[in-house]
Amino acid sequence: MDKQLFRVQRIFHHLRMSSTAATQPEVLLEKQKNVGVITLNRPKALNALNLNMIRQIYPKLKEWEDNDDTTMIIIKGAGDKAFCAGGDIRAVTEAGKTGDRLAADFFREEYILNNAIGTCPIPYIAFIDGITMGGGVGLSVHGLYRVATERTLFAMPETAIGLFPDVGGGYFLPRLGGSLGMYLALTGYRLKGREVYKAGVATHYVESDKLPALEEELMSLKQSSSQKIDELLTKYHKETKREMPEVPEFSLEPHMDKINNLFSPDSVEEIFEALMEDGSEWAMQQLEKLKKMSPTSMKITHRQLSMGGHLSLQECLQIEYRMSQGCVRGHDFYEGVRAVLVDKDHSPKWNPSTLEGVTPRMLDSYFEPIPLSYLPAKELHL
């Protein structure tokens, strides 16, 4: 079994626990001094995000925004394995099969929270210590500051489960520079530790054992302007030592020219052709990886990112809501979750099974306005 797919399976295995009852609060919302602190409190489920957590975080975030004495917001995950490994996808697919509203409400309310984070008027600091994927990316990447550690593992692996890099992926991925975002979105490549900062996903890099001291100093700032916060974060960032100076800080650095060239074409089919024409060992490895992904997911993802580079976060999230409901109405999302999460055979039967089978009309359907009959009780206002 491919090592990357195996690791994804292990992460999704933890996400299966996201529907189980918890004896502890799933999210802690505290005001410490003048700082709002959000702690995702489901360490056994890798702090997977569910609708109940979203419905607690959003109103508290808005309350803190309106409170003049709240100087900043810090979000972190409990335990030492994950910030947040993703959303409650198992519950969403189960709801989608029965027509339950959860399949619409989860995406809608998650995206509204993502937009609130992206437009938060006070400094929002995410300690992305550990696994940060899917829904965890949405809780962090749109904030003003993202602090990675040596334990950070970032990825958007949705094309492997018949979905797409949502939670504003259409906004932030095209802005990483060159074709890096397209590469990460289509392949699900995992960034580790310092390279999460090097790629532009994190704004700072700090050793994990320094986070408690950093948090305490942030809370003790007499002037908590963005400038003072940035100065403190930069101070910790500069004090961080290189773990292994002989190892490149960014594993993709040797391949960036190829990534920028081979993942820049105007369609997924042309990307496949470019990889074939290149013929290098690295290009062939990427091609084999892409052949395992959902053809539909790759094509909607390509269009999503191609559009998103010119749109606002709110506009991207509105489009992604349409896409999410297209996936809920379709086939590959359920099949991908089955293959990776339920049966774990890693042999999804995609439909269509080829890129050519995903017709322009099918592709367009994922981006069309949602019919009223599909909308949840409240329309998507972001």
Written as one string, the DSSP assignment of 171-212 is: HHGGGGSTTHHHHHHHH-PPEETHHHHHTTS-SEE--GGGHH
Token duo for residue 40:
């995702």
Alpha-carbon distance of 235 to 157, in angstroms, equals 33
Sign of CA dihedral 164, 165, 166, 168: negative
Q: What is the DSSP letter of 154?
A: E
Which candidate, 52, 36, 34, places its Cα nearest to that of 88?
Answer: 52
158 is catalytic: yes
Alpha-carbon distance of 283 to 266, in angstroms, equals 18
Q: Which of 134, 135, 168, 181 is catalytic?
A: 135
Alpha-carbon distance of 259 to 284, in angstroms, equals 13
Token duo for residue 335:
């099949």
Q: Which of 26, 110, 129, 166 is catalytic?
A: 166
Sign of CA dihedral 358, 359, 365, 367: positive
Residues 6+ apart with CB under 8 A from 374: 104, 325, 329
Secondary structure element (H or E) that encloses residue 161, with its range = none
Q: Which of 77, 86, 87, 134 is catalytic?
A: 87
118 is catalytic: no
- Report CA Rg, the chain: 20
Alpha-carbon distance of 149 to 285, in angstroms, equals 28
Alpha-carbon distance of 320 to 114, in angstroms, equals 12
87 is catalytic: yes
278 is catalytic: no
Distances in Å between the Cα of 162 and the Cα atoms of 52, 166, 375 are 24, 12, 22
Q: What number of other Cβ atoms are within 10 A of residue 355's Cβ?
A: 17
Q: Which of 129, 158, 195, 335 is catalytic?
A: 158
Residue 121 CA, chain-centre distance (Å), reads 22
320, exposed or middle or buried, with CB in 10 Å at 0-12, 13-18, 19+?
buried
Which amino acid is present at 356?
Answer: E
Which residues have a catalytic role annotated? 87, 135, 158, 166
